[in-house]
Chains A and B, each alone.
Chain A
């Protein structure tokens, strides 16, 4: 028992955040690995920020001496840290205040601008996202044809450097719409087929041809910032995230990926992807699905179509994950667990729903070697909830850690809550 701190985790503030613990053992939790497996009464050993041990406590006896901290989870649920892919979290703070927006740069082809260095680790919004179990994010630029390069970030850190998991995981290509018009909201015009569609496609092809040729040269005295940023899309692991929803767009995006022999193309959106599942499978293109909490696009679409898209893709065998782009997306990032929950209610299995916001997101973004599931050798990035984290009634995070470091569970909103709770308690006394 020497030096061993045993914490019975009941309340939110059971232990102190910021303190260094090197050998941590979580006992008695129900582990959702993230890869579909469940380990009941799990023992999870964490050493130097990494998962060192995963066992079933019924079949394994541990030596208390090996651990400086042992936390009894008393049957609570353990999840890998969820990821928020394709989000403006951390690069915007208040939607209506322009001064806080850092996601839309001037220019049409901007692969060289990168979100990593604009990422605000101290964002108040982030503090409210972590506490629901979302511990990783892919801050993503918007606008233009190529918006820029996204990064994979931990939602805790002293600065963007130590929050970085992947500096520039991919570029974001906004595929032109095969429909045009629509006017603006005060003077809408009907949407029709986009007459310039093929011209706009040509522009993208031209840019990629140039970039591919450039990538074939190793030395270039006159470095072109754009082309340099594109280099690893052809020779490396940099993803090409193609934002597309309509059937025509998706089919053309598949052709495009083939034409340039892209190693890691990804569709973001994919509202119509369930209609061409086999083609996506054949082309090995995964999909970051449109926010499940969105309205159907067309009048006669099934009223629950966005809810069940994850289940449809799962049944068809398409690789996918869930993302959250849309109205108030930064603050809504904290609802990502419930997007997975809705997907579960509409046909996805519980463990698949978890994978859809953890392991699969990490696989698609290329960081699954260390993140996305609770497996030996991976980073200890996980959280514990008293109940099912995918249900808002029972999502109550009592412990969270990123790379083995405990996170603060008292965000600014919780502090205000406590402050005013106190006010009223005080009034009652008086």
Chain B
């Protein structure tokens, strides 16, 4: 009903304008009907009619097809040989939006919103921005889109996390361009855009901000007393169509988690690598708006250069054009967008590439017309050329789906625009030009864009007549021809100019012209030979459309998703970490992802088991890295606020980090991914297993306890951030204590309000994600891992915790822990430290490598962690330093990277030792694992062999072969050299505790 109403409304609008607008002079009238005849019309996807007629009245299609009855007063347009496609709809556009100006960067952080008024507190949230109110038609940009085939765009200000309403516009220049929105569409993203406000500084911050926003919107609807324009707008938008703009496949899954939490439904603007997570996307029930700016081939002729191109880039180059096809094949609804394409030529050649890579023309057209019209709710009025719909279509000289075609005309809402000049007659060829009975051989070369000619005449040489060939200017326009040449023959000297008409059917020109003598003469030219029409060889391109994706789709990815195996490891030296200690000549059996048998007694080899002879080898439980920052996307720190308890590392896990595989090669099977140390209360941790080849969700350890990162000292007081950063509270250790006390006091009040509401009802308190997380700590439902260095601050936090009735779970770094190990034992807190780091900042001046041994001796549960992707691969070596510094026993030293971190992470009931029933996270070492000679031979996680020396060698060879295969494909690619990409190498940075911002650090770090 709504759509019908809108249709009527739009009709009224279009009619009423002509009445409202005052006329300058006599009123003009338009023909009542236009009839476009003899065209090939793509009425809708899959419905192509040849020799068809399209009948239009005003801005509507009256009829279409063969045998259309045309009224007598219709204006006829002959479209013979031409192609008519319905106008496409662009869903990712900012056409007609005012240019955004970013505020000047002052260097000083901005912690509060600078936007005054009843708006949301964060400048990245501005749902109140309404594109309908700020849209102005831009003829130049319209034409650029029209040349790509588009006639409509859903445009909005592309800025911020909550971006505002979009306007559905037709690409015309007049007052009619703004169509009323049948469906209110609004856009979201994880990018804060032009906002200079410090928060959010990371993707997890953007996610937390959005979640808080949706909670606030719900609360506003029910209980708010003050007016807030942002929340009001958002609440309206939530009834409409929500489009989420992403820059990576994983962002779609992240946004979908939010949608799920708030019972919303997003459609997504994708980034082109969605094929890599196709299985997860199938459950979404969303439409994906896909870019087709497929990567250009690299210039790979130089082998020095090509060897440095990451394999993942090469693989993506190969697979990207298949993205639309693969998604469509699996039943996912797609739209195609012109995003990031500069020219119509690029857009169409990429679209044809998608078609060559398996996307049917029907599906391509559907993705550009019908599907976008459905998700914007305008399918009754636009999208096809059926009768009753808007007359918006583009006329091409050829089928652009097959070859490069020209846009001849656009009709947007019935408004005709002609682009290309009429096609000129092809006049290339050889002629005899006859003027006053003189015959001159003439040759005309070129095509309708530009011709050039040569003319030969005879002149009197010294002995005989000789030939002279001169240039001849040839200008052809429709069927008019102008020829000009200079001559010096036996009778004429000077310029000859001829004007005439061509008659291509007979290959004849005729007309009048002027001789050098000033004489006005008739002339004719008769074709003797046709021009060489360079017909491009139509190579029948058969594109390779096999899916070459790996899991993950990069070097060392698996061909298929790894599965748990039944594994018998015999004759091994087992480091059990249990009472048995080190057991020689023992067997361990892994089954269904668990340890099924362990010991020296009898056992039965299960059917189909893989048997590994571990004679001379050492077998341990997997290393657990208590402090890691690998496998995190777009920011390890949310540094925009002193307390960011609401952000969650679990929201931004990156399953494609090569460091996952590298850690496996060092025997690591599980890690705590921690927020950084940029603020006193950081974010919530993620406990993962290093399940290379699996999805982010599969990596998260199920039913793990909740953890959160706190931090103390130089980093949180921004000591090493430069002099501009002296604004945020706290700037001293004194302030840090008060910040905690204040935060926890507020959390206490919040928890009480929530409890009271649950008990007694009344008005619902506003859900506050930050206080929620803090109150979980107070209720011992979330556990603190606290970055710490010096004894004063360590002591302080234990006092704060004691005064509020909770325990600090773990001090990490804890380089002065040895000074107050007794107090730590009393409080019941563990320590996760470095083996020997120091001298990197002032607060580690008293750090000593004997720290682990001293703490351990006093009864502190001590772990050795990495905080570093490089060191994470050889934590066995770091544990061994416990033997060197302070004389720990080998068994105790080994526990510091296995059982002890498991205890600190509350996972020791299922990890950290070799015991029947525990997780099958097992490492086979070539030697005593504490020895410098120890190498990992197998790393098994949940019974899956995710690393083995043997397979690693195979993967290396396969990586090379794959690279060679794709490079030879690239070399065969016909893209001109100057359009190929120069080599691009990703310099991989790494997150450390103090890395600020979304991007990784490649510089020195101070942990």
Contact = CB atoms under 8 A, between A and B. Distances in A.
A427 B858 CA distance: 11
B870 interface: yes
B986 interface: yes
Contacts of B419: none
A99 to B, nearest CB: 10
Contact of B932 (A128, A248, A345): A345
A96 B661 contact: no
Contacts of B997: 185-186
Interface in A159-211: 179, 182, 185-188, 190-193
A345 B839 contact: no
B1000 A185 contact: yes
Interface in A315-352: 327-328, 330-331, 334-335, 338, 341-342, 344-346
Interface residues of A, number: 59
Contacts of B486: none
Contacts of B854: 417, 420-421, 424
A302 interface: yes
B840 A247 contact: no
Contacts of B985: 179, 190-192, 298
Contact of A327 (B884, B886, B987, B1004): B1004
Contacts of B714: 96
Contacts of B822: 424, 427
Interface in B954-972: 956, 959-960, 963
B1006 A96 contact: yes
A10 interface: no
Given A393-B930, A420-B818, A94 B842 contact: yes
Interface string A404-419: 0000000001101100
A248 B312 CA distance: 23
B473 interface: no
Contact of A293 (B841, B871, B934): B871
Contacts of A302: 956
Given A392-B880, A416-B846, A416-B848, A300 B310 contact: yes
A338 B556 CA distance: 28
Contact of B884 (A186, A393, A413): A393
Interface in A336-371: 338, 341-342, 344-346
B839 A190 contact: no
B874 interface: yes
A95 interface: yes
B964 to A, nearest CB: 12
Contact of A392 (B857, B877, B986): B877
A1 interface: no
B993 to A, nearest CB: 13
B296 to A, nearest CB: 13
B720 A96 contact: yes
Contacts of B658: 299
Contacts of B877: 338, 342, 392
Interface in A72-95: 93-95
B732 interface: no
Interface string B965-1007: 0000000000000000011111111100001111111111110
A95 B997 CA distance: 21
A424 B662 contact: no
B312 A393 contact: no
B492 interface: no
A97 interface: yes
B500 to A, nearest CB: 53
Contacts of B1004: 95, 327-328
A417 B982 contact: no
Contact of B1001 (A97, A185, A334, A342): A185
B404 interface: no
Interface centre among A327, A334, A346, A417 (most CB of B within 10 A): A327
B839 A125 contact: yes
Contacts of A330: 839
A239 interface: no
A93 to B, nearest CB: 7
A336 B554 CA distance: 33
Contacts of A390: 932
B845 interface: yes
Interface in B866-896: 868-871, 873-874, 877, 880-881, 883-886, 890
Interface centre among A128, A186, A300 (most CB of B within 10 A): A300
B57 interface: no
B881 A392 contact: yes
Contact of B662 (A295, A345, A393): A295
Contacts of A331: 836-840
A125 B836 CA distance: 12
A294 interface: yes
B931 interface: yes
Given A302-B956, A345-B932, A345-B933, A417 B839 contact: no
A391 B1003 contact: no
Contact of A413 (B849, B1000, B1005): B849
Given A96-B840, A247-B304, A300-B311, A424 B821 contact: yes
Interface in B553-570: 554-556
B431 interface: no
Interface in B714-732: 714, 719-720
A391 B845 contact: no
B554 A299 contact: yes
A304 interface: yes
B665 A95 contact: no
Nearest to A330: B839
B989 A185 contact: yes
A394 B877 CA distance: 12
Interface string B406-436: 0000000000000000000000000000000
B1 to A, nearest CB: 50
Contacts of A394: 884
B857 A424 contact: yes
A421 B305 CA distance: 57
Contacts of A50: none
Contact of A191 (B857, B984, B990): B984
Contacts of A391: 880, 931-933
Contacts of B930: 393
B58 interface: no
Interface centre among B308, B930, B990 (most CB of A within 10 A): B308
Interface in A136-150: none
B554 to A, nearest CB: 6
Given A185-B997, A300-B959, A427-B822, A94 B839 contact: yes
A296 B873 CA distance: 12
A338 B932 contact: yes
A362 B104 CA distance: 54
A217 B71 CA distance: 101
A94 B871 contact: no
Interface in A295-309: 295-296, 298-300, 302-304
Interface string B272-303: 00000000000000000000000000000000
A94 B841 contact: yes
Interface in A15-40: none
A327 to B, nearest CB: 6
A294 B870 CA distance: 6
A391 B933 CA distance: 8
Contact of B989 (A97, A188, A421): A188
29 contacts: A94-B842, A95-B840, A97-B841, A191-B984, A192-B982, A293-B871, A293-B874, A298-B308, A298-B310, A299-B658, A300-B310, A300-B556, A303-B661, A327-B1005, A345-B935, A346-B935, A388-B932, A391-B932, A391-B933, A392-B877, A392-B881, A392-B883, A395-B884, A396-B884, A413-B838, A417-B850, A417-B854, A420-B818, A424-B858
Interface of B: 304-305, 307-308, 310-312, 554-556, 658-659, 661-662, 665, 714, 719-720, 818-819, 821-822, 836-842, 845-850, 854, 857-858, 868-871, 873-874, 877, 880-881, 883-886, 890, 930-935, 952, 956, 959-960, 963, 982-990, 995-1006
